[in-house]
A = this chain, B = another copy of it.
Amino acid sequence: MASKSFYAIISGAGSGTGRAAAVRFAQAYPVVLLARKPESYNAIVDEIKQAGGQAFGITADATDEAAVNAAFETIKKELPGSKLAAAIYNVNGGFARKPFLELKREELDASLDAAPKGFFTFAQKTLPLLLDSVSDSPHPPSLIITGATASIKGSALFGSFAAGKFALRALGQSLAREFGPKGVHVSHAIIDGGIDTPWGKSFVANGGVEDGKISPDAIAETYWHLHTQHRSAFTQEIDIRPYVEKF
């Protein structure tokens, strides 16, 4: 039975990982899905409801401070009295693979908007709510961040994307060190491999070998584990990759 007095929120719901996390956390909490377009969350909301869970979506661009503010006002009305147990920042954007001298400054901006800037706004909104849940939430209130290979390696041709992801990791580390002692679990996952999504079937990873792409459900299962870790045993950073991935 899902706890009705705590909820989870997922920013960037419209990806494979976003959907899977929503479905997994909906086994325990009502789930709020933030995405730029309703098409990104409508089907997920339906899926959760049909499985007996509770969910609703809000259209908001993570990089738009006013839109994110409005989203949290909506949540207050939709889930009166409910407290935040888990917040997942899963926004992608600013991906570009090209020679540095062909990059436009807008492409760097897009990466910084989607990663450190969008997360900054999301974290400033959610951390006070998570702090408020420390005393009574079923598990340590959690802020989980989706990173990538580019969070720890600036590969050739991936400079602008890596800039955003490195910056996002920096913020996550800093928040873990500041808010961990206050009881909030800030965790950063390095997703190191292609993700197996319905719309990404044409992308072949690891020679097309079975399970050569990461199952979003498996990521979600690890996110749930992070959320349920005892506060004496928090994980700050975890890597997730297919068994066949080179690293």
Contacts A154-B173, A170-B165, A174-B154 given; does A117 touch B105 at CB 8 Å: yes
Are the C-beta atoms of B233 and A240 separated by less than 8 Å?
Answer: yes
Measured between C-beta atoms, what is the minimum distance from A8 to chain B in Å?
19
Are the C-beta atoms of B155 and A174 separated by less than 8 Å?
Answer: yes
| A222 at interface, CB cutoff 8 A | yes
Contacts A123-B100, A173-B162 given; does A183 touch B153 at CB 8 Å: no
| A167 at interface, CB cutoff 8 A | yes
**Least CB separation from A228: chain B residue:** B221
Stretch of A48-56, A74-82, A84-92, A207-215 contacting B (4+ beta carbons < 8 Å): A207-215
| A93 at interface, CB cutoff 8 A | no
Contact with B along A45-83 (1 / 0, CB 8 A): 000000000000000000001000000000000000000
Are the C-beta atoms of B215 and A222 separated by less than 8 Å?
Answer: no
Residue of A116, A158, A163, A246 with most partner-chain B CB within 10 A: A163
Are the C-beta atoms of A230 and B215 separated by less than 8 Å?
Answer: yes
Within 8 A of B (CB), among A218-233: 218-219, 221-222, 225, 229-233
Are the C-beta atoms of A218 and B239 separated by less than 8 Å?
Answer: no
Measured between C-beta atoms, what is the minimum distance from A227 to chain B in Å?
11
Contact with B along A98-117 (1 / 0, CB 8 A): 01110101001100100011
Are the C-beta atoms of B247 and A241 separated by less than 8 Å?
Answer: no
Are the C-beta atoms of A120 and B108 separated by less than 8 Å?
Answer: yes
Measured between C-beta atoms, what is the minimum distance from A32 to chain B in Å?
21
Residue of A166, A217, A246 with most partner-chain B CB within 10 A: A166
| A15 at interface, CB cutoff 8 A | no
Partner among B167, B175, B196 whose Cβ is within 8 Å of the Cβ of A232 = B196
Measured between C-beta atoms, what is the minimum distance from A133 to chain B in Å?
14
**Least CB separation from A219: chain B residue:** B233
Are the C-beta atoms of B100 and A108 separated by less than 8 Å?
Answer: no
Partner among B163, B196, B243 whose Cβ is within 8 Å of the Cβ of A116 = B163
